[in-house]
């Protein structure tokens, strides 16, 4: 029986990137690692067993924890709620070269991948993902279930509301203490966008300077 069994929930692309971070983080402990996935995936991936959630629940272990390594924030929220109900705690993951400066407050269950930086005086909610090479600069406030793809550059005095998704290589202009730049709830910022002004909730913006994306009518 494992003293501690840690499940990486999601055995797809991101999960396979996150498992090595967890392995490194827990290398001085006796924790055992598995993937947890409810989809049609092999029983072993990259040398680690893949359990369905019900199998994970039934496993014999002193303590169980889960890392939610699924980029889709709505799925993350649904799975986190289910696991909390089942009494399973989340584990936060931080790559060994992540830089975190002063007065940074981070919620539960976040994943900070390699080469990510959180500078000073930042608040971040729960289940935030910062994929490789992303940064959050001074005085930003990030909500719950926010997702950064690789290389997101979030400059100072920016507010990002819950469930927003920021695409790879996007740049977000700095706000000011009096008027932070705000990215609204569940907004999507497209890959490579340069965001120079507030983004309303629920919309998708693309381009440089970023504008609301309206699919062409046929």
Q: Cite the active site residues.
A: 138
Residue 36 or 199 having the CB closest to ligand UDP: 36
- In whole angstroms, the minimum distance from the beta carbon of 49 to ligand UDP comes to 14
d(CA 19, CA 9): 10
Residue 8 or 199 having the CB closest to ligand UDP: 8
Structure tokens at 137: 């600069």
Q: Could you say whether residue 128 binds ligand UDP (CB under 6 A)? A: no
Do the Cβ atoms of 154 and 140 come closer than 8 Å?
A: yes
Q: Could you say whether residue 14 binds ligand UDP (CB under 6 A)? A: yes
d(CA 23, CA 29): 10
Residue 79 or 110 having the CB closest to ligand UDP: 79
Helices (H), the chain: 13-25, 53-58, 73-85
- In whole angstroms, the minimum distance from the beta carbon of 103 to ligand UDP comes to 30
- In whole angstroms, the minimum distance from the beta carbon of 163 to ligand UDP comes to 15
Q: How many CA atoms lie within 13 A of 20 on its CB side?
A: 8
Q: Could you say whether residue 71 binds ligand UDP (CB under 6 A)? A: yes
Q: Could you say whether residue 55 binds ligand UDP (CB under 6 A)? A: no
Q: Could you say whether residue 38 binds ligand UDP (CB under 6 A)? A: yes
Q: How many CA atoms lie within 13 A of 173 on its CB side?
A: 14
Residue of 144, 123, 152, 10 whose CA lies nearest to 67: 10
Residue 91 or 141 having the CB closest to ligand UDP: 91
Q: How many CA atoms lie within 13 A of 144 on its CB side?
A: 9
- In whole angstroms, the minimum distance from the beta carbon of 13 to ligand UDP comes to 4
* Maximum Cα–Cα distance across the chain: 59
Binds ligand UDP by CB under 6 A, chosen from 2, 4, 26, 41: 41
Residues of this chain that interact with ligand UDP (CB under 6 A) are 10-15, 37-39, 41, 70-71, 75, 79
């Amino acid at each position: 029986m494992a003293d501690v069994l840690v499940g990486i929930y999601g055995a797809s692309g991101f999960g396979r990137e996150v498992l090595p971070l967890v392995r490194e983080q827990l290398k001085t402990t006796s924790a055992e690692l598995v993937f947890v996935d409810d989809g049609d995936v092999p029983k072993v991936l990259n040398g680690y067993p893949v359990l369905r959630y019900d199998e994970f629940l039934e496993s014999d272990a002193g303590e169980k924890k889960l890392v939610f390594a699924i980029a889709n924030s709505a799925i993350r929220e649904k799975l986190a709620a289910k696991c909390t109900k089942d009494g399973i705690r989340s584990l936060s993951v931080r790559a060994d070269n992540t830089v975190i400066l002063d007065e940074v407050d981070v919620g539960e269950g976040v994943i900070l991948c390699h080469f990510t930086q959180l500078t000073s005086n930042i608040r971040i909610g729960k289940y935030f993902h910062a994929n490789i090479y992303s940064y959050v600069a001074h005085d930003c406030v990030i909500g719950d279930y926010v997702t950064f793809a690789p290389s997101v550059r979030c400059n100072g005095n920016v507010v990002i509301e819950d469930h927003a998704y920021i695409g790879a290589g996007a740049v977000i202009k700095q706000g000011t203490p009096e008027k932070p730049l705000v990215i609204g709830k569940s907004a999507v910022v497209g890959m490579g966008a340069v965001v120079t002004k507030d983004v309303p909730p629920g919309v998708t913006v693309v381009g440089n300077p970023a504008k609301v994306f309206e699919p062409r009518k046929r």
